[in-house]
């Protein structure tokens, strides 16, 4: 089954109440995991760092990145409250740590898995620390090339994380990401190159690219979720509202079932139609006993309850063993 992550991220706008509403919506939509973000703004970015272009557009103010992020922090206690809330709601809690201090705090929560954000794929101290925990890791690869992915994986292996415990998400780090830059086939390249489970972290508008990723073999789909795209904040506009996310989950589940197996065989649902739709060899016109079967006096018509037309050459040239009326099934 495809693992579906509802990326709540910072779409709670710093409010624990909104964060819990996002948990409720993610559960209602059918997501397997709801994921948040853990960071200490002062540990994450230097004072005067500018916001990314999409962040400036979506927040519509002149705040620095530090000022913006400080308004979006959740404390460790709030995150722990969220985890316990998720347990009560029967949905897995996950939080991506963006700095070493937050990574230690998240590790104290005893989560099932960790998520490495795209921006940390070249952060050696971070990779060594998270790799030393020896738990399942999901690695996002936005802005990375194949060599950087390989280097990050090697560090995780050296730190103590087994290959079988690592999944890699193909990703394009733009919000929203333009279709021309998605390069979805790279996901298959990553799987072949590193022999790990793969998935797709989707920042495009809409849900069709996620569906395509599942068709190409994604084991994990991650997509941002919001209560309202019109809320103030950096990620809302590139997120799905509840009904859209519900449609995403339904589509993924249907596609997963429809993909089936590599074997080509008659489906159970179509067996009943076989006799109705296929044909038998029948008399094209009246045929007398002893008359030779020819292409002029035989044809094929539904239903398939007589001789299969694939035996046509076997029948042509043989003598009729009885009299036939037009449309009579030929006996042999």
Cβ neighbour number for residue 312 with a 10 Å cutoff: 14
For residue 119, say if its preceding peptide bond is cis, omega within 30 degrees of 0: no
Q: For the residues 223-227, what does the mean pLDDT come to?
A: 98
At residue 12, does pLDDT exceed 70?
yes
CA 154 to chain CA centroid, nearest Å: 25
CATH architecture of 3-259: Alpha-Beta Barrel (3.20)
Q: What is the pLDDT of residues 160-192, one digit of tens each?
A: 999 999 999 999 999 999 999 999 999 999 999
Q: Is the pLDDT of residue 59 over 90?
A: no
Burial (Cβ within 10 Å: 0-12, 13-18, ≥19) of residue 292: exposed
Please give the pLDDT value at position 57. 65
What percent of the chain clears pLDDT 90, i.e. is strictly above it?
Answer: 87
Query: pLDDT tens-digit profile of 271-295?
Result: 999 999 999 999 999 999 999 999 9
Query: Is pLDDT above 90 for 123?
Result: yes
First-to-last C-alpha distance (Å) of the chain: 50
The residue that leads in pLDDT, 202 or 332, is: 202
Buried-state track 19-29, b at ≥16 Cβ within 10 A, e below 16: bbebbebbbeb
Confidence of residue 60 (pLDDT cuts 50, 70, 90): low
The angle subtended at Cα 71 by Cα 67 and Cα 77, nearest 5°, is: 135
- When pLDDT is averaged across residues 247-251 and rounded to a whole number, the result is 98
Residue 297 vs residues 17, 71, 92, 290, 319: alpha-carbon distances, Å: 80, 85, 70, 13, 12
Which among 107, 102, 108, 86 is positioned nearest to 20, based on CA atoms?
A: 86
- Residue 86 confidence (pLDDT): 98
pLDDT confidence tier of residue 235, bands split at 50, 70 and 90: confident
Average pLDDT over residues 237-256: 97
Higher pLDDT, 237 or 323: 323
Sign of torsion over alpha carbons 298, 303, 308, 309: positive
Pinpoint the residues of the chain covered by CATH 3.20.20.70.
Answer: 3-259
Query: How many C-beta atoms lie closer than 10 Å to residue 88's C-beta?
Result: 8
pLDDT of 292: 98
The CA-atom distances, in angstroms, between 51 and each of 46, 58, 102, 139, 274 are: 11, 10, 21, 24, 62
Average pLDDT over all residues of the chain: 95
Q: CA-CA distance, 307 to 3, in Å (whole number)?
A: 49
* Per-residue model confidence as pLDDT tens digits over 68-78: 888 889 999 99
Which of 97, 103, 85 has the alpha carbon at shortest distance from 16?
Answer: 85
Sheet holding 220-224, edge to edge: 92-97, 33-38, 3-9, 220-224, 197-202, 166-171, 136-140, 113-116
Q: What is the pLDDT of residue 202?
A: 98
Section 305-310 average pLDDT: 98
pLDDT surpassing 90 at residue 48: no
- Per-residue model confidence (pLDDT) at position 69: 80
Residue 311, Cα to own-chain centre: how many angstroms? Answer: 46
Query: Distance between CA atoms of 10 and 83, rounded to whole angstroms?
Result: 15
257 Cβ neighbours under 8 A, 6+ residues apart: none
What is the spatial distance between Cα 223 and Cα 81, in angstroms, rounded to a whole number?
23
> Are the C-beta atoms of 246 and 252 separated by less than 8 Å?
no
From its phi and psi, is residue 286 left (phi > 0), alpha (psi between -120 and 50) or beta? beta
């Amino acid at each position: 089954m495809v693992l579906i992550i509802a990326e709540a991220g910072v779409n709670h706008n710093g409010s624990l109440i909104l964060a819990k509403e996002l948990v409720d919506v993610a559960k209602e939509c059918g997501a397997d995991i709801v994921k948040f973000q853990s960071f200490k703004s002062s540990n994450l970015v230097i004072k005067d760092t500018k916001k990314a272009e999409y962040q400036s557009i979506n927040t519509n103010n002149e705040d620095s990145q530090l000022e913006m992020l400080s308004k979006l922090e959740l404390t460790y206690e709030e995150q722990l409250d969220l985890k316990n809330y998720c347990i009560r709601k029967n949905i897995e809690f996950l939080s991506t740590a963006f700095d070493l201090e937050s990574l230690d705090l998240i590790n104290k929560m005893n989560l099932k898995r960790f998520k490495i954000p795209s921006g940390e794929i070249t952060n050696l101290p971070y990779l060594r620390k998270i790799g030393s925990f020896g738990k399942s890791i999901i690695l996002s690869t936005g802005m990375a090339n194949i060599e950087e992915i390989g280097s990050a994986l090697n560090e995780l292996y050296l730190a103590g994380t087994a290959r079988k415990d690592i999944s890699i998400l193909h990703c394009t780090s733009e919000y929203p990401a333009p279709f021309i830059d998605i390069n979805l086939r790279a996901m298959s390249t990553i799987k072949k190159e590193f022999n790990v489970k793969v998935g797709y972290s989707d920042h495009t508008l809409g849900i069709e690219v996620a569906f395509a990723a599942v068709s190409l073999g994604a084991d994990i789909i991650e997509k941002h979720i919001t209560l309202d795209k019109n809320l103030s904040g950096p990620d809302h506009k590139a997120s799905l509202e509840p009904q859209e996310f519900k449609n995403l989950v339904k589509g993924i589940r249907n596609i997963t079932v429809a993909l089936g197996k590599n074997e080509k065989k008659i489906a159970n649902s179509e067996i009943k139609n076989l006799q109705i739709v296929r044909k038998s060899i029948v008399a094209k016109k009246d045929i007398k006993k002893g008359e030779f079967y020819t292409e002029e006096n035989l044809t094929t018509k539904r239903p398939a309850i007589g001789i299969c037309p694939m035996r046509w050459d076997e029948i042509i040239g043989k003598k009729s063993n009885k009299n036939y009326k037009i449309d009579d099934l030929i006996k042999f």
